[in-house]
Structure 1
Amino acid sequence: MVGGSTGMLFNTSKRLAVNRVSPEATIHSGGAVWADDAFHCKANAANMAYYRWNWVQSGYPAIGNHVNSSTIRIGICDASYSWTGYAPVYGGAYTNGSDRRIKKDITDCPYGLSTVLGMKPRKYTLLHDDTIHIGFVAQELKQVCAIPVSGDPNSPLHPETGLPPDPMGIDLASLTAVLCKAIQEQNQLITDLRARIEILERKTKLMPAL
């Protein structure tokens, strides 16, 4: 008790409350929480770890590992920490690691102009928030450019939302290399056509006037 009020409480459910009397988690603070060093979140029995906020009983924004420990996801989850959807992320510049020293088996991009011509740019509405976007459909893109596409098209759907908790995704940064290769190939075609036109023009000049 602090000043006649409950400052800290440890209940029979082995939950600790600070500045409140009804803890809803193992440790529940009734005010802001600060750390002079760091917060650590250790993986559970399923080897999963999350940071979740906005206690509204559903649609929690969360940061955690996605599918495996080598991938991080920012999105929406439910009260059981199951991913239920993606969320737009706003911020400044985002940089992909691209140092030669972290890569091996470096070869030329196998995708180019023919790949781009087979892509299907789409306009669509996301089901979970009715926002309109332009982009690609992962299943369609995988048919012409498989490497940037991840996920299983047959993964199970969430029982409540009917949406895939682990939806397929596209590494859009990788598509930059594909577009670059396509421009290079197209430029070579233009260069070749210019050379042919110049040859034809010279031949035309040498032809006798009618």
Structure 2
Amino acid sequence: MDELFDAICSLEIINITLNNEDNPQLIFESLNSTGLDLSEGDKIRNFILMGLPTREQDEYYDKYWNRIEECTKYDVSAFVRDYLSVKQLVISSQKKIYVSFKEYVELHAIEAEELLKDILEYAKCYEVLLCGGTNNKALNACIYRLNRLETTVTRPFFLEVLRLHDDGKMDMAQVTEVFLITENYLFRRTICDLPTNVLNKIFLMLHREIVRYDGEDADYVEKFKYALLSKK
């Protein structure tokens, strides 16, 4: 308790007055550059929220960001990397997730609440990939096995599949079939000792390839089977 009290007594509060043209996020980044490293997720949270009025910061944190952290088991950085893979069809490096996210948001001029809503929807899908918890035992078991094998390269693709389910474009039986076929595909590649370095690109582009066949989400499972079987 004494150590905690001493630590609190050593804290310093810095009060900085900003002009209207000042960017609080840039100032925060420069002040923090000599301190402890923030996670990429911390930087992203600050980027989204710091420029907002205090009331909106509190509201959006409680309504969106806190839920995003819960869904991702507080590993927002890893989740956002997969989120960006879905949005940009490019896999960001671990150290540049925040930079890539910032560029994506600024390029598309996305408003804070619209952005947070979209991130939360994908975070809910991500939670399924981490924990299962669906009403389909076969799907839950498949997710468990994939996680035991630390198969993360499929997550951008699976996020898109789960979003289709959330949008009412696939039922749970179809989702389960896609997961089981993917698991079987990965297992067969392992048995045949095929290289794994191509899997990132395969699953990064797979959803886009499926939709491009006819520009629609209809018959998704059949198109998925055809697309996956064509991969070497």
Q: Which interval holds the TM-score relative to the shorter structure? A: under 0.3
TM value normalised by structure 1: 0.27
Larger Rg, first or second structure (1 or 2): 1
TM value normalised by structure 2: 0.25
